Structures are given as C-alpha cells and as structure tokens.
C-alpha cells in the first residue's frame, strides 16, 4: 500500500510505501503527524488546512491525536446519531442545493451529479460535532438494491401470515373483530395490512333444490386481509440510501464555520 498526501482534490505532494496488511486506522494518525511539517514547507500555516480522511478517522483516540486542525470524515454506518440526522433531513426536506460540483463537463452516458446538503450538530464522544448530510442524484446502486431486497423479503413473510389469518373463521363476531385488530396491527418497515370482517354463511346438508336455495345453518365470521406497500416510506428509504453523512471537527457556529456547501466542495 502507499500513503499519499494530496492537495487540491488529487494532486500528490508526498507519499511513502506501507505494509500491504497495515490497518487504515493507525495510518491516519501517522500520516497527519508526518504531513504537518510537509505542508509547512509550502507555507501552509497551522490551522490553514483541512484534513480529509475516510471513516477510519472517527474513533475517539484518532480524533484526539489530530489536536486542533480541522478535518472532514465520512460518518460510519454504525454511528446512529448521524443516521437520525439524515433521516430527519429527508423527512422534512431540510436541504440546500449546491448543484454540480465536478469540474468534468457532463456527457450523455455520464450526466453531472446534482448534490444537496443539510447540516446539523450531533453529539460525538460527549462533545458537539458538526454533521453534514449529502444527497446526490447519483445514488449508490448497491444501497438501492439492498432497499429493494428488503422490501421484497418483507412481502412474502408478511403475506404468509396474512393468508393464514384469512383462513380462520369464528362463530362470534367479537372474536372476529379482535382478530381483525391484530391483523391490522401487523406491519413491516415497507408494508401495512388492511383487514375487514366478512360473513361466511354455512349451508345445511344435502343438495339444494332448484326452486329454493340451500338454507343457512350457521353464520361464521372471517377476515379478508390485503397487503399494501407503504409507498411514502419506501420512497424515503430510497432517498436515505442515496445519502452520505460527513462529520467535521472544527467550529460549529460563528464566522469561522464554513457553510455546508463549502464543506462538500472541500
């Protein structure tokens, strides 16, 4: 592997070889300590640079090792507070449009990606940290496919339960009402169940005659259940799957705090 210090997106100014099985987490700490004097050679003063790294930077000891410099990192998928922030931004449309950021002119096979951002403050190791959510028109296909699989997997499982409930019948309407309530309470993240009571008359023995219909011996009550996709929930899940969460270490308010769009451009 090779550790490389880049500026202006992808311009390398220094690097060194690393062991192929080296962990990414300790390399962040080492790379930053070695990069600060390299930046100073080019006249970059302390506090005038932003360190951008992957989610391996988020552990508390790694952030503490950086000290005061500003940094931007991707929010790990296991970080729940940032996930709630993204879900809230999607639900309430708290987005700021920043447009197409790539300097490469868009083409028909590869159209430009339009991005939106939302920001907030979330707790990180007992201290407030700035969180920036990014939503783009270029969704991660793997995440979208995962959402589709989860929707499809929930449908057969819940459908089997609904079909089993509709086969049951009761001679008491109150019992049928209670069963309907239990059926309507069944739901998944992507589906809901509707259930209504239907009368199921039971005929007496023998073949019916032509002039008169067969008499009703008893009246039973059954359920008619249907499975409905929660379209608004599925749409929100798809939007959340197309979002990326960023965490920044630095000012969360005031004149020194960059706007969310500036964080994304960095």
HEC string of 222-241?
A: EEEEEEEECHHHHHHHHHHH
3-state secondary structure at position 31:
helix
Task: Give yes or no for residue 141 having a pLDDT over 80.
Answer: no
- Of all residues in the chain, the percent with pLDDT exceeding 70 is 79
What pLDDT, in 10s, does the model give residues 162-178? 888 888 888 888 888 88
The pLDDT assigned to 69 comes to 64
What pLDDT, in 10s, does the model give residues 221-263? 888 888 888 877 787 777 777 777 787 776 544 445 555 555 5
Give Cα 90 distance to the centre of its chain: 10
Considering the entire predicted model, what is its pTM?
Answer: 0.55
Instruction: Using DSSP bridges, classify how beta strands 70-74 and 50-53 pair: parallel, antiparallel or unpaired.
Output: parallel
What is the Cα–Cα distance from 217 to 203, expressed in whole angstroms? 5
What is the Cα–Cα distance from 189 to 187, expressed in whole angstroms? 7
Report which of residues 115 and 251 the model is more confident about.
Answer: 115
The pLDDT assigned to 128 comes to 76
Task: Give yes or no for residue 40 having a pLDDT over 80.
Answer: yes
What pLDDT, in 10s, does the model give residues 144-163? 777 788 777 777 878 888 88
Give the range with max mean pLDDT: 11-15, 80-84, 242-246, 253-257: 11-15
The pLDDT assigned to 255 comes to 44
CA angle 105, 111, 112 (to 5 degrees): 60
What is the Cα–Cα distance from 161 to 235, expressed in whole angstroms? 25
Task: Give yes or no for residue 190 having a pLDDT over 70.
Answer: yes
Report which of residues 263 and 97 the model is more confident about.
Answer: 97
Q: Which two tokens stand for residue 265?
A: 């451009």
Task: Give yes or no for residue 140 having a pLDDT over 80.
Answer: no
Strand partners, 34: none
Report which of residues 259 and 139 the model is more confident about.
Answer: 139
Among 12-21, 47-56, 62-71, 225-234, the minimum mean pLDDT is found in: 62-71
Do residues 128 and 215 lie in contact, with contact meaning Cβ atoms separated by under 8 Å?
no
Give Cα 197 distance to the centre of its chain: 38
Do residues 4 and 18 lie in contact, with contact meaning Cβ atoms separated by under 8 Å?
no
Report which of residues 165 and 83 the model is more confident about.
Answer: 165
Report which of residues 173 and 124 the model is more confident about.
Answer: 173
The pLDDT assigned to 253 comes to 47
What is the Cα–Cα distance from 173 to 85, expressed in whole angstroms? 46
Length of the chain as a residue count = 266
Mean pLDDT of 116-136: 79
Q: Which two tokens stand for residue 208?
A: 């019916």
What is the Cα–Cα distance from 5 to 28, expressed in whole angstroms? 11
């Amino acid at each position: 592997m090779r550790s490389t210090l880049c500026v202006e997106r992808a311009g390398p100014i220094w690097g060194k070889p690393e062991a192929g099985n080296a962990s990414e987490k300790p390399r962040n700490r080492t790379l930053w300590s070695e990069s600060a004097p390299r930046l100073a050679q080019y006249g970059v003063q302390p506090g005038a640079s932003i360190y951008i790294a992957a989610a391996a930077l988020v552990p508390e000891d790694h952030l503490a090792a950086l000290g005061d410099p500003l940094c931007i990192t991707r929010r790990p998928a296991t970080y729940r507070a940032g996930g709630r922030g993204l879900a809230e931004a999607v639900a309430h449309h708290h987005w700021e449009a920043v447009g197409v950021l790539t300097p490469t002119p868009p083409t028909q096979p590869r159209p430009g990606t339009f991005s939106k951002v939302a920001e907030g403050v979330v707790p990180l190791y007992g201290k407030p940290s700035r969180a920036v959510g990014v939503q783009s028109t270029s969704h991660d296909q793997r995440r979208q496919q995962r959402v589709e699989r989860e929707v499809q997997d929930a449908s057969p499982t819940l459908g089997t339960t609904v079909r089993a409930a509709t086969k049951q019948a009761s001679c008491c309407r109150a019992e049928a009402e209670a069963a309907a309530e239990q059926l309507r309470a069944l739901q998944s993240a992507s589906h809901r169940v509707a259930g209504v009571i239907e009368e199921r008359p039971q005929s007496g023995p023998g073949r019916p005659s032509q002039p008169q219909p067969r008499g009703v011996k008893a009246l039973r009550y059954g359920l008619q259940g249907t499975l409905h996709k929660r379209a608004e929930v599925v749409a929100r899940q798809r939007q959340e799957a197309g979002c990326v969460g960023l965490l920044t270490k630095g000012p969360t308010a005031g004149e020194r705090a960059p706007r969310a769009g500036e964080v994304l451009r960095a």
